[in-house]
Chain A
Amino acid sequence: MNANSKTENRALASTVLELDVNNHAGVMSHVVGMFSRRAYNVEGIVCMPVGYEKNGLKSSGETSSEISRIWLLVNEDARLEQMIKQIEKLEDVLSLRRHGAEHEVFERLEEFFH
Chain B
Amino acid sequence: MAANSISNQKEMFMTSKRSEILTGAQIVVRLLERQGVRLLSGIPGGAILPIYDALSQSTQIHHVLARHEQGAGFIAQGIARASGEVAVCMASSGPGATNLLTAIADAKLDSIPLVAITGQVPKSMIGTDAFQEVDTYGLTIPITKHNFLVGSAEELLEVIPHAFRLAASGRPGPVLVDIPKDVQNQSIEVSDWPAPGASDPAPAPDAVLISRAAAMINGAARPILYLGGGVVHSGASGSAVALAEKAGLPSVMTLMALGAMPVDHPLSLGMLGMHGARCTNLALDECDLLIAVGARFDDRATGKVAAFCSQAKIIHIDIDPSELDKIKTAHVGIAGDVKAVLGQLVPQVEAILRKPWLARVADLKATHPLRMPGIDDPRMPYGLIRAVADCLDDEATISTDVGQHQMWVAQAYPLRRPRQWLTSGGLGTMGFGLPAAIGAALAEPQRTVVCFTGDGSILMNVQEFATAAEEVANVKVVLMNNASLGLVFQQQTMFYGERIFASKFRGMPDFIKVAEGFGWQTLDLDNAGDPSSALRAALSLPGPVLIHASIDRHEQVLPMVAPGAANKDMIGG
Contact = CB atoms under 8 A, between A and B. Distances in A.
B166 A91 contact: yes
A86 B147 CA distance: 16
Nearest to A26: B137
A91 B326 contact: no
Nearest to B320: A89
A25 interface: yes
A37 interface: yes
A62 to B, nearest CB: 8
B145 interface: yes
Interface in A70-108: 81-82, 85-86, 88-92
A26 B326 contact: no
Interface of A: 25-26, 29-30, 33, 37, 57-61, 81-82, 85-86, 88-92
Nearest to A82: B326
Interface residues of B, number: 20
Interface in B150-196: 151-152, 154-155, 158, 162, 166
A48 to B, nearest CB: 22
A85 B322 contact: yes
Contacts of B326: 82, 85
Contacts of A59: 151-152, 155
Nearest to B326: A82
B147 A58 contact: no
Contact of A82 (B147, B158, B322): B322
B36 interface: no
B322 A33 contact: no
B141 A26 contact: yes
If over half of B's interface residues share one DSSP class (helix, strand or loop), that class is named, otherwise mixed; here it is: helix
B151 A60 contact: yes
A85 B166 contact: no
Nearest to B170: A89
A29 B155 contact: no
Given A25-B149, A60-B152, A30 B141 contact: yes
Given A30-B141, A59-B152, A82-B322, 12 more contacts: A25-B149, A26-B137, A26-B141, A26-B149, A29-B138, A29-B141, A33-B142, A59-B151, A60-B154, A82-B326, A90-B146, A91-B145
Contacts of B142: 33, 37
A12 to B, nearest CB: 25
A61 B154 CA distance: 11
Contacts of B166: 91
> 3 nearest interchain CB pairs?
A85-B322, A91-B146, A60-B152
A58 B155 CA distance: 8
Contacts of A92: 146
B325 interface: yes
Nearest to B146: A91
Given A57-B158, A91-B166, A81 B141 contact: no
Interface in B299-331: 320-322, 325-326
Contact of B155 (A37, A60, A88): A60
A79 B515 CA distance: 49
B151 A86 contact: no
Contacts of B147: 26
Contacts of B141: 26, 29-30, 33
A114 to B, nearest CB: 34
Nearest to A30: B141
